[in-house]
């Protein structure tokens, strides 16, 4: 077997392979021998069927298997000799084997671009200090109290107010015709929290327990029922009861109910530590991005198209999954897949450039990833998604995602190395709106 390497582009290689007829004959003979050993044909003892009979009877299967085995053997040998690791799937361009003739074929793949790494040790970067204010901790406790509040029926015959819960019946009409699917009985709704359309809540605010009322409600343009999207419909509402929120007492018993904390102090300490850990990780991530952006600005190289496409598909999938969690679909946004490709391509290219740069650092530093680290990452994904480790691992194996996951872990290791070697200057945090979900209790995590 002989081969020539063709550099199609800085990130693509094509290998042209020539196979002498003797090697073709050997591959066919080996495959025929395997069939002869295992095949059971009427009139012949097992293992004693003549080779010519085996070849005539199973010609198509034998030639296909011999060709596949021969090409796979060559690909492994050639890549090992060249010390090349493809970062894309290998595309083979091959015709059928012919007995007694030389054979030629080619295979192509993408590789990581070659470039000179800039100095990545000892870089200077600013990182925000972590500050957690007491009022932020108290705000979380108030959110928890509201989340655990009970709703008690109001004895006074009054109109409902924002923050009250109401028990209602409702149905919808398009003209005089009832609209199927928009109706409910004894439905409980908390007012003023954005759970329902303003027009609908306006009808409820005008009622007292035992009363019914009508009103017009304009449906949003992205309403799940496309036939009704953007239309104004007539709603009939009957109010059965008004309930007001009763907050739990702020004591040690409350702390135990929230997440098995011994007392209120332990709950406050847990909230503080949760905020602190989250913000430390965020500040670190921002600093790491600054370091990586600065390093990427110092190098230029071609990006492997298949790797860009992989990350582009991931971004689009994340976007569509997010829409579905909100009860929407892509059509409701007025966008197409092509629109999303254009929208996310720049981001996918930046992700690809980051990955290639960090993998180059990992290679230079001799960093490795073992199976236990891959399994640990899969376990994290399983825990977060609420699925079993076995299901997640099988999904990653079937969809050929394990290599990408391994590369991600390797890139993370390289980023940690760059960060650990950096000269970090602490700076005061900039005023910004904090994430309301920086703290979550054990019960929250179970629900997620």
Instruction: Identify which has the larger pLDDT, 107 or 439.
Output: 107
Residue 178 sits at φ, ψ, to 5 deg, of -65, 145
Is residue 88 very low, low, confident or very high in pLDDT (cuts 50, 70, 90)? confident
User: What distances in angstroms separate CA 235 from CA 144, 161, 194, 208, one per listed residue?
Assistant: 34, 20, 18, 17
**For residue 140, what are its two tokens?**
């979380």
**For residue 427, what are its two tokens?**
């700076």
pLDDT at 198 (0 to 100): 94
CA–CA separation, 20 and 22 (whole Å): 5
Q: What is the pLDDT of residues 272-295, one digit of tens each?
A: 999 999 999 999 999 999 999 999
**For residue 110, what are its two tokens?**
């993408």
- Whether 291 contacts 125, CB under 8 Å: yes
Structural domains present in the chain: 2-110 (3.30.70.1050), 150-246 (3.10.50.40), 253-447 (1.10.3120)
pTM score, whole prediction: 0.70
Instruction: For the chain, report the end-to-end CA distance as a whole number of angstroms.
Output: 57
Q: Residue 442 pLDDT more than 50?
A: no
Is residue 440 very low, low, confident or very high in pLDDT (cuts 50, 70, 90)? low
Among 60-69, 130-139, 148-157, 322-331, where is mean pLDDT lowest? 322-331
Residue 409 Cα to chain centre, angstroms: 15
CA–CA separation, 353 and 421 (whole Å): 21
pLDDT at 26 (0 to 100): 94
Residue 261 sits at φ, ψ, to 5 deg, of -85, 145
């Amino acid at each position: 077997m002989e081969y020539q390497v063709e550099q199609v582009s800085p990130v693509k290689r094509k290998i042209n392979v020539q196979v002498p007829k003797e090697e073709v004959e050997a591959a066919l003979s080996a495959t025929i021998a395997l069939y002869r050993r295992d095949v059971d044909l009427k009139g012949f003892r097992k293992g004693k069927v003549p080779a010519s009979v085996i070849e005539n009877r199973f010609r198509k299967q034998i030639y296909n298997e011999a060709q596949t085995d021969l090409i796979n053997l060559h690909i492994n040998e050639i890549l090992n000799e060249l010390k090349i690791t493809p970062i894309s799937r290998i595309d083979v361009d091959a015709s059928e084997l012919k007995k007694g003739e030389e054979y030629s074929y080619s295979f192509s793949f993408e590789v990581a671009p070659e470039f000179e790494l800039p100095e990545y040790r000892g870089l200077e970067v600013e990182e925000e200090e972590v500050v957690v204010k007491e009022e932020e901790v108290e705000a979380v406790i108030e959110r928890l109290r509201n989340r655990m509040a009970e709703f008690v029926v109001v004895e006074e015959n009054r109109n409902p107010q924002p923050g009250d819960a109401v028990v209602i019946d409702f149905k919808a009409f398009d003209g005089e015709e009832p609209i199927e699917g928009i109706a409910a009985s004894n439905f409980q709704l908390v007012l003023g929290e954005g759970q329902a359309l303003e027009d609908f809540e306006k009808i409820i605010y005008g009622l007292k327990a035992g009363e019914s009322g009508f009103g017009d409600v304009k449906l949003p343009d992205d309403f799940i029922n496309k036939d009704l999207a953007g239309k104004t419909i007539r709603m009939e509402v009957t109010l059965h009861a008004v309930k007001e929120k009763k907050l739990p007492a702020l004591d040690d018993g409350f702390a135990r109910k929230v997440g098995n904390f011994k007392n209120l102090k332990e709950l406050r300490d847990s909230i503080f530590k949760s905020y602190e850990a989250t913000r430390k990780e965020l500040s670190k991530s921002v600093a790491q991005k600054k370091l990586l952006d600065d390093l990427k600005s110092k190098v230029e190289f071609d990006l492997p198209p298949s790797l860009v496409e992989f990350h582009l598909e991931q971004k689009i999938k994340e976007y569509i999954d997010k829409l579905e969690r909100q009860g929407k679909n892509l059509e409701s946004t007025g966008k197409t897949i092509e629109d999303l490709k254009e929208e996310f391509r720049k981001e996918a290219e930046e992700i690809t450039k980051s990955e290639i740069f960090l993998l180059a650092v990992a290679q230079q530093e001799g960093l490795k990833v073992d199976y236990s680290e891959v399994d640990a990452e899969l376990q994290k994904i399983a825990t977060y998604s609420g699925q079993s480790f076995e299901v997640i691992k099988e999904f990653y194996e079937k969809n050929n995602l394990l290599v990408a996951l391994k590369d991600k872990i390797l890139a993370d290791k390289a980023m940690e190395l760059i960060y650990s070697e950096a000269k970090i200057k602490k700076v005061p945090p900039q005023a910004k709106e904090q994430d309301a979900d920086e703290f979550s209790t054990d019960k929250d995590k179970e629900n997620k």
